[in-house]
Structure 1
Amino acid sequence: MIYKIPSEYSPLADAVKESIPHALKEASETDSPNSFPEKTLQILKNSNLLTACISSDFGGKNLGLKVESNHALLTILKLIGSGNLVVGRIIEGHFNAQFLIDRFGTLEQKKRFAKDSFDGKLFGVWNTQAEDGVTLKFEKGRYFLNGSKTFATGSDYVFRPIVTAAQKKGSWQMCVVNLDEVAVQTHSDWWNPMGMKATRSYKVTFKNTPIPADNLVGKNGDYYEQPMFSGGSVRFSAVQLGAAETLLAETILYLQKLKRTEDHFQKVRIGQMRILINSGNHWLKSAADYMDLFMGDPSAKNSALLLDQSNMVRTAIDEICTEIMILCQQCIGARGLNKPHHFERIIRDLTTYLRQPAPDHCLLEVGRFALGDQPQEQRSLIKILKKWMNLK
């Protein structure tokens, strides 16, 4: 691609690129629900990636926090996904937590949690739950958590998750739980998925777990503030596209090794895959542009534009990744789906990771926006068409 990221973020991107071969190797070695990609995460820690999304006021690099840093953010997440989707899921959650703290945290919280990141603590966001979900109660001057979270990514390794908890009035409060200071129950038997196994997205149960008042982040309902809540989907879309890029690269290498590059049908399929990947990269760049636009002018109009773009990006990259997996399997056949090739694991991981909540709603919102609050260029075209129709 011709897009370039700001030079201040090039060392981070280069470090992630160098980690990809190690990440691919460890992904194969840790493809089980009780494993964790510790080596790859240590490499990324050593490159200062865990503190990149912290404000420079507290020693970070402002990645994703200022105008013209968002394309670098999405590029770095895509590169991480190229190596291991599991690591991409973990790091995206870590970044998400840091963005929430930067947006809603107090000055003291920002300083304290920045220090935790510099000390190597992994953050995350645990929001999903079933009927036995987490509640927050205030009793005798103290706060306590009770209930369970599902899909608690990084269980036993993430020591600073942001946990959303329901209160009596039905509102939701973000709480940072210091898991190295309290005891919780993890249910590893709950997690036995087709892919993304080593994310350790277990069920975690809190039983009268004490939460200091200064670990409550923001006010009730802040977690769902738009466009931050839905707009954040472009980050996991970037990770997903990284895996699709790896499938393309691995497919080309596989065909070269088998000397099948002169087959016309293989050329057609590879051509289709290249177009899809380039389309995905254009979508990511457009997402970064709209993120920059909103950061520069956080108006209601720009919020709506960012949400619309995020819904389109998520939908488009889901479709791109799905088509890439189909074309890849047509290229490599049954032989390529055998180990030690990476194809079958990446396809399992990507298939699982693509299953994000409410995909139909995203597409519905794209259509609703077009029929209502159209972007300027669309309104102009509609005006021209109306004029032409009146002439007829």
Structure 2
Amino acid sequence: MNSAPRFDPLPPAPQIDALSDAARQALRDAASAEESGERPIAASIDILRDAGLMFEDGATSPLRTARALMQIGAANLSVGRLWEGHVNALRLIRLYGTKAQIRHAEQVIEQGGLLGVWGADGDTAATFEADILQGEKIFASGLGTVTHAVISLNSGPKVQLALVEVTDPKRGDASQWDMLGMRATASGRFDFSGLAAQEKHLIGAPGDYLNEPHFIGGVWRIAALQAGAAAGLIDTAATALRAMDRLEADAQLARLMQVLMRVWAGMALVERAALASVDDVQPETIVSTSIAARIYTEEVALDAIRAVEQSLGLRHFAATSETGRMARDLSVYLRQAARDAFLQRAARHALSSHETVWGVFG
């Protein structure tokens, strides 16, 4: 028989709050100007740097990282996207890198650098041979802001990671990023062809990148951003409705509260997945729980977008609408790859026995 569910106490909130109210407000205030290009997103990264968040890797204090992702996602999802990539990159380097590589990455951060993870290949896959890189990455977030990227080389089961400086503006092209949302991330194409590299730039062994529970098992970070962004959208909508004296209508309260309750549930699931990542839990259980958090928060966020549209009506679709901008960013961010395959993988494990159905609580 399976033992009774295990519920670990959470530390008091003040110990895991990552950002002050002032920092969160500053991130909110900057979002519109960053989308239009009037303000560099690097200035918001400096807010996170001042808050002491640049050495977070999601493993040292996973609950703090999860809360920080939620708070940043609620305030400024584009900044959250870049910081999540930074956290992921630092985690990979600390997992698989040598002591010298880890120290190098930390020195980059100390000197004001920003890390990223660029995995999507363009028409020519990124490869490494005879100390020369070839190929390109697309959907590379943070062009002009990310200084060093962990990139995947030689795609397949023996994929190899490398840490490469990506500051050459001639190699980056953000003009292809024509998405309606997440425009402030300055995502686009980066051409590595002919760039010199050495063995010392290679992180870990071939195939390490795919090791669980650190690969798919880390998607709880994406789920945290999604949950936070959904909460931020609802909060902004409620603020607008209060200003118009329209929030007290029973239909408005019920519509938004029904979604907000599910956002809270998604946050709790994210926190459990984050805590499980450093607990003595089967890797596939961590993976399935992280997938569940990722998919559940996606569904809730879509419902939040719809509820806000219904609550605000045409005002939501005005060019200057704050909720409209936030919903555009969130809609684009939600479209992560391989959703159906993730769901099937989680289901095969979670439904395989009466023990695994408990997930991380078992």
Tell me whether the two structures share a fold, i.e. TM-score over 0.5. Answer: yes
Unaligned residue ranges in structure 2 (runs of 5+): 1-8
Matched, 1:338 2:318: yes
Specify whether residues 20 and 165 from structure 1 end up closer, same or farther in structure 2 by C-alpha distance, changes over 3 A only.
Answer: same
Structure 1 contact 33–199 (Cα < 8 Å) conserved: no
Counterpart residue identity of residue 148, structure 2:
R
2:159 to 152, 167, 172: 172
2:115 is aligned to 123
Structure 1 contact 123–161 (Cα < 8 Å) conserved: yes
Structure 2 residue matching 1:189: 3-state secondary structure? coil
2:56 is aligned to 52
Q: Distance in 1 between matches of 2:138 and 2:102?
A: 27
**What do residues 243-299 of structure 1 show as CA deviations (whole Å, max 9, x unaligned)?**
111111112212211112332211211221221221112211221232232xxx3xx
Output the TM-score relative to the length of structure 2: 0.90
Counterpart residue identity of residue 157, structure 1:
T
User: How many residues of Structure 1 are paired with residues of Structure 2 in the alignment?
Assistant: 351
Structure 1 contact 196–349 (Cα < 8 Å) conserved: yes
2:134 is aligned to 146
1:372 is aligned to 352
What is the CA distance between 1:222 and its match in structure 2?
1.0
Q: Distance in 2 between matches of 1:203 and 1:211?
A: 19
- Select the structure of larger CA radius of gyration: 1
Structure 2 contact 144–169 (Cα < 8 Å) conserved: no
Matched, 1:259 2:249: no
RMSD, aligned α-carbons: 2.3
Structure 2 contact 273–290 (Cα < 8 Å) conserved: yes
Q: Distance in 2 between matches of 1:376 and 1:177?
A: 40
Alignment of 1:243-392 (within 5 A): 243-293=229-279, 297=280, 302-376=282-356
Structure 2 residue matching 1:349: 3-state secondary structure? helix
Structure 1 contact 35–200 (Cα < 8 Å) conserved: no
1:58 is aligned to none
**What do residues 88-139 of structure 1 show as CA deviations (whole Å, max 9, x unaligned)?**
000000000000000000011111211111111100011101331111102x
1:92 is aligned to 84
What is the CA distance between 1:174 and its match in structure 2?
0.9
Specify whether residues 374 and 272 from structure 1 end up closer, same or farther in structure 2 by C-alpha distance, changes over 3 A only.
Answer: same
Alignment of 1:67-86 (within 5 A): 69-86=61-78
What is the CA distance between 1:223 and its match in structure 2?
1.1
Structure 2 residue matching 1:204: 3-state secondary structure? strand
1:61 is aligned to none
What is the CA distance between 1:35 and its match in structure 2?
6.6
1:42 is aligned to 46
Specify whether residues 305 and 279 from structure 1 end up closer, same or farther in structure 2 by C-alpha distance, changes over 3 A only.
Answer: same
Matched, 1:185 2:177: no
Structure 1 contact 135–147 (Cα < 8 Å) conserved: yes
1:19 is aligned to 23
More helix, by proportion: 1
Q: Distance in 2 between matches of 1:113 and 1:253?
A: 41
Structure 2 residue matching 1:281: 3-state secondary structure? helix
**What do residues 131-173 of structure 1 show as CA deviations (whole Å, max 9, x unaligned)?**
31111102xxxx1101110011111221110111118x97321
Unaligned residue ranges in structure 1 (runs of 5+): 54-63, 380-392
Specify whether residues 376 and 89 from structure 1 end up closer, same or farther in structure 2 by C-alpha distance, changes over 3 A only.
Answer: closer
Structure 2 residue matching 1:207: 3-state secondary structure? coil
**What do residues 197-238 of structure 1 show as CA deviations (whole Å, max 9, x unaligned)?**
111111011121111221111011111111111011110111
Structure 1 residue matching 2:115: 3-state secondary structure? strand
What is the CA distance between 1:32 and its match in structure 2?
4.1
1:239 is aligned to 225
Counterpart residue identity of residue 46, structure 2:
Q
Counterpart residue identity of residue 231, structure 2:
E
Q: Distance in 2 between matches of 1:159 and 1:39?
A: 14
Output the TM-score relative to the length of structure 1: 0.84
Q: Distance in 1 between matches of 2:12 and 2:319?
A: 36
Structure 1 contact 27–84 (Cα < 8 Å) conserved: yes
Structure 2 contact 288–350 (Cα < 8 Å) conserved: no
Structure 1 contact 308–365 (Cα < 8 Å) conserved: yes
What is the CA distance between 1:9 and its match in structure 2?
4.4
Q: Distance in 1 between matches of 2:358 and 2:316?
A: 45
What is the CA distance between 1:184 and its match in structure 2?
5.4
Aligned-pair identity in percent equals: 27
